[in-house]
Structure 1
Amino acid sequence: MTTHETHERTFFGHPWGLATLFGTEMWERFSWYGLRAILATFMAASPAQHGLGLSEQTATAVVGVYGALIYLVALPGGWIADRLLGPRRSVFWGGFVIMCGHISMAVPVTSSFFVWLGLALIIAGTGLLKPNISVMVGKLYPEEDDGRRDAGFSLFYLGINLGAFFAPIVVGWLADGDRWHLGFSAAAVGMALGLAQYVLGRKHLRGVGDEPNMPLTPEHRRRALRHVGLAALGVVVVMAIWVATGTFTIDRFTVVVTLVILAVPVVYFGYILTGSHDLTEDERSRMKAYVWLFVAAAIFWMLYDLAPSKLLFFAQNHTDLTLFGVHINAATTQSFNPLFIMIFVPVFATLWVKLGRRVSTPQKFAFALVMVGLSFLVMALAATLAQGGRVSVWWLVLVYLIQVFGELSLSPVGLSVTSKLAPQAFKGQMLGLWFISISVGDAIGGQTGRLSNVMSDPAYYTLLALMAIVAGIALLMFTRKLRHLMSEHHEPATPPTR
């Protein structure tokens, strides 16, 4: 390190550019989790309450598809940065589009057009911002400086959870009393603050992410833009025809999107495993193991990401929203999860280091499935008690505590094991596949809300709980086989970056 670098301004011992990215991500997550904390209840509120008047089942499906698309568009977002814009401009334009989306939702009109437009803009903008801001964090450090890079990502992860913790409290308070658009406005202001900090702090990034990693030639750029334009036109035409037939509904749309999302990993895994692609026998073996880990992860997220829909409705309709003698609103319960994550991340990081190779990746995934299953057994008991009147909000506190134990057993190692098991020919693409497991889980989870039409809430929670626990036990039973397929050795845990 040069003398000049030694005396540069630092952020807790890290490059000051990390402060810029830390603040940008914190405010972006504030806007994302703030909206998520009130979206389902807004959609289910009646027009007299200034909501959309959807059923809780439809609202759950919409929130599930919305979350699923957020993770799915990270793949094209990463490609645009790598080939066209570069990470720095992708993050800026992503943040700008997200801000426009929140402004659209904040427009206090009775028409739902601005709501759907806002959600579409937020999805598109997040696809540009989310994957590329993490890339820029990594590029702040020399390639050989793994220790400081890991510590930098830990700080960055703290920013994510600070935004996630405060957003439901602030946005939920502002939206209380059916002031939904005021809550949406707070999310827009949050993204605007993050964008302003990003622009003002650009000089501290020292050129990181200015250029695409693998820019397209002018000819390839024209071809790519033409293909994207044709694809977009095709989607518009199909949607227009569907609407013109009079058969289009929000419910059917969420089902179609869910089926498309489900097809993505099926096609992708089929393409990898059925073609030659110069895969070695060892690489093919590892991919077979990864398929099972992918399914396990999707089942986990299917339950875990019902927090902003089914669990939020339970908080609103069936709990006494009093905590330590203070009244809270339903949205505030969405702050329990990031609070517990911030508390227990260092505990689990230390635990995995101490256990080392004695606990394998399949065992960690199995534990995560059992934990999220147990949390839903608690929900089943709470739902049973709620049939006689409102129950204590401490039931939800317990549910989120158990779920965080599961997340910290699965999420930190997800990207690591994906990178380790990826065939050399698909190394870069496979990292995006991990996020598709979240997308699949969110989409299916949203559709499970329809089960409430044919079964009671206690039965619903019990069914999903048993599904997760059985999957976890099955994974444990086949741990030895999976470890053989994976040729697994210990990988150090890194903080999750959702």
Structure 2
Amino acid sequence: MTAAVLTRSEERLWGHPKGLYFLAMTEAWERFSFYGMRTLLVLYMVQELLLPGRIDNVAGMAGYRSVVEGIFGELSTQAFASQTFGLYAGFVYFTPLFGGLLADRWLGAKRVVMIGIALMTLGHFAMAFDYSFLIALLLLVLGSGCLKGNIAAQVGHLYERHEEQLCSKGYAIFSTGINIGATIGPLFCGLLAQLYGWHFGFGAAGVMMLIAAVVYFAGLKYFAEDRAAAPAGEVLPPLTRIEWRMIALVVFVLVLTMFQSFAYEQMFNVGLLWVSERVSLSIGGFAVPVPWFGAEDSFASVMILPVLLGLWAWQARRGKEPGDFGKLATGAAIMAVSAGMLALGSLLAGEGKVSILFPLIAYFLSGVAFMYQWPTALALVSRRAPAKINALMMAGAYLTLFAVGVISGFLARFYEPMGDTAFWTMHAAFSATGAIAIVLIAGPIRRRMDMLDG
């Protein structure tokens, strides 16, 4: 038993290493700030920052817009804001590859996480000023890259190899911290932005990152020592033909899950603009802050988990629990209904405003769809990817979210010319297509994977 792993009874709390709770609380505060800012971003750009007289205050905006439009073509204010949101949302899932490399090869996870916290804190505070808006986004992308994968890896470092089941429960506790932060952040930052202005909401996200820093530093003595860096010249054994075939099958399945993810990501991009413009938000004289719908998605993910675990256990006892492909298809179908609710609301509202019930149902369903899809996709990659590159394949799964962010930003340009009913119908069709495709290929792909594993 190594000294690097905290296993002495006095270093454990409720059966888990104390470091787990500090990591979970750090991630809760970080996600609080991240999702609080994320649900404000596209609204802030469309409703204030990109308006004439304000956009000129942003350092580097002219050059940035020239580059973006050089790639994606001329964009309206809404389309430019949505594409910027898509690029930000995408690169947040691209940079962790480099953060992991930095930790594994040179600095270690602890130092890189501390760098990430510092960068994200600066980024959130920089969002409070027009001038530094683009600088803020860059800092947040780089900071997230340093923090996201490495803090999750530190959870696993707390446990011995033989503690597989306990480690899984530890990750469940860690994920609970993520979902709590993702739920509360949009509620708090959205309310502050509505009552006192956008910059108060962004500033609150910065304060939350300071709290995350305090919690992380307080827990340093309870964390495992960083793993030794892999030798720079280490060469893995070459992949066999069978392993390459398995990789191709896994990548193919991940590509199919992107159809659902296009609609899911759009809920936080054009979806929030749609809520702001097309929904009657007044309840008893109180105007519901638009970012609260982003919180509802996370809240639904938290609330539905025990229900799904109970449902799947009940189905398993009867030999009818859906496998990975069944769950992926179910998630895509639910997401199709979620986007369809926005299309139906748009159709029924005509030129007026739609009842708040439509987005309430839609964002709850999107949270349920996420719990069917993303954990299942990660589990499939973890089980099926070759052992030689299993960790790399897990990181590669997040690259699908990078592609989804960029592509969903591109698709957002069609919101204004198509109209909201057709736009959301298109996204419902994307998800439905993904569900049908997964159902059609499930049997042959599963049999092929089983044969390759055998």
TM-score (norm 2): 0.87
8 Å CA contact retained: 2:294, 2:363: no
Q: Structure 1, residues 72-105: CA drift from partner, whole Å, max 9, x if none?
A: 1111111111111111111111111111111211
Which whole-Å CA distance do the structure 1 matches of 2:357 and 2:13 have between them? 37
> Are residues 425 and 138 of structure 1, via their aligned partners in 2, closer, same or farther at CA, if it must alter by over 3 Å?
closer
Does the alignment pair 1:126 with 2:148? no
Which whole-Å CA distance do the structure 1 matches of 2:127 and 2:195 have between them? 17
> Are residues 28 and 448 of structure 1, via their aligned partners in 2, closer, same or farther at CA, if it must alter by over 3 Å?
same
Which whole-Å CA distance do the structure 1 matches of 2:411 and 2:253 have between them? 21
For 1:13-92, list aligned pairs within 5 A: 13-46=15-48, 52=55, 55-92=77-114
8 Å CA contact retained: 1:316, 1:330: yes
Deviates more, 1:173-182 or 1:131-140: 173-182
Residue 355 (structure 1) shift: 3.8
Q: 2:326 — aligned with what?
A: 363
Residue 179 (structure 1) shift: 1.6
> Are residues 134 and 190 of structure 1, via their aligned partners in 2, closer, same or farther at CA, if it must alter by over 3 Å?
same
8 Å CA contact retained: 2:11, 2:17: yes
Q: 2:348 — aligned with what?
A: 385
8 Å CA contact retained: 1:42, 1:52: no
Q: 2:241 — aligned with what?
A: 280
> Which of 145, 156, 181 pairs up with 1:163?
181
> Which of 304, 308, 311 pairs up with 1:351?
311
In structure 1, stretches of 5+ residues that fail to align are 221-275, 491-498
Q: 1:312 — aligned with what?
A: 272
Q: Structure 1, residues 353-408: CA drift from partner, whole Å, max 9, x if none?
A: 44457522222212221111121111101112233322222211111222223211
Which whole-Å CA distance do the structure 2 matches of 1:355 and 1:78 have between them? 38
Which whole-Å CA distance do the structure 2 matches of 1:209 and 1:324 have between them? 54
Does the alignment pair 1:408 with 2:371? yes
Q: Which secondary structure state, in structure 2, belongs to the residue aligned with residue 390 of structure 1? A: coil
8 Å CA contact retained: 1:297, 1:438: no
1:397 aligned partner, one-letter code:
L
Which whole-Å CA distance do the structure 2 matches of 1:407 and 1:489 have between them? 29
Name the Cα RMSD after superposition: 2.7
8 Å CA contact retained: 1:372, 1:403: yes
For 1:141-152, list aligned pairs within 5 A: 141-152=159-170
Residue 13 (structure 1) shift: 3.3
Residue 211 (structure 1) shift: 4.6
TM-score (norm 1): 0.80
Q: Which secondary structure state, in structure 2, belongs to the residue aligned with residue 330 of structure 1? A: coil
Residue 145 (structure 1) shift: 0.8
> Are residues 376 and 199 of structure 1, via their aligned partners in 2, closer, same or farther at CA, if it must alter by over 3 Å?
same
Does the alignment pair 1:294 with 2:296? no
Residue 410 (structure 1) shift: 1.3
Which whole-Å CA distance do the structure 1 matches of 2:304 and 2:107 have between them? 37
> Are residues 372 and 141 of structure 1, via their aligned partners in 2, closer, same or farther at CA, if it must alter by over 3 Å?
same
Residue 419 (structure 1) shift: 2.2
8 Å CA contact retained: 2:260, 2:434: no
The count of corresponding residues between Structure 1 and Structure 2 is 425
> Are residues 385 and 80 of structure 1, via their aligned partners in 2, closer, same or farther at CA, if it must alter by over 3 Å?
same
In structure 2, stretches of 5+ residues that fail to align are 57-75
> Are residues 322 and 360 of structure 1, via their aligned partners in 2, closer, same or farther at CA, if it must alter by over 3 Å?
same
Residue 213 (structure 1) shift: 3.6
Which whole-Å CA distance do the structure 2 matches of 1:139 and 1:101 have between them? 29
Residue 177 (structure 1) shift: 5.3
Which whole-Å CA distance do the structure 2 matches of 1:7 and 1:212 have between them? 25
Q: Which secondary structure state, in structure 2, belongs to the residue aligned with residue 391 of structure 1? A: coil
Residue 340 (structure 1) shift: 0.8
Paired-residue identity, %: 27
8 Å CA contact retained: 1:85, 1:212: no
Q: Which secondary structure state, in structure 2, belongs to the residue aligned with residue 434 of structure 1? A: helix
8 Å CA contact retained: 1:44, 1:52: no
2:162 aligned partner, one-letter code:
E
> Are residues 343 and 211 of structure 1, via their aligned partners in 2, closer, same or farther at CA, if it must alter by over 3 Å?
same
Which whole-Å CA distance do the structure 2 matches of 1:209 and 1:329 have between them? 43
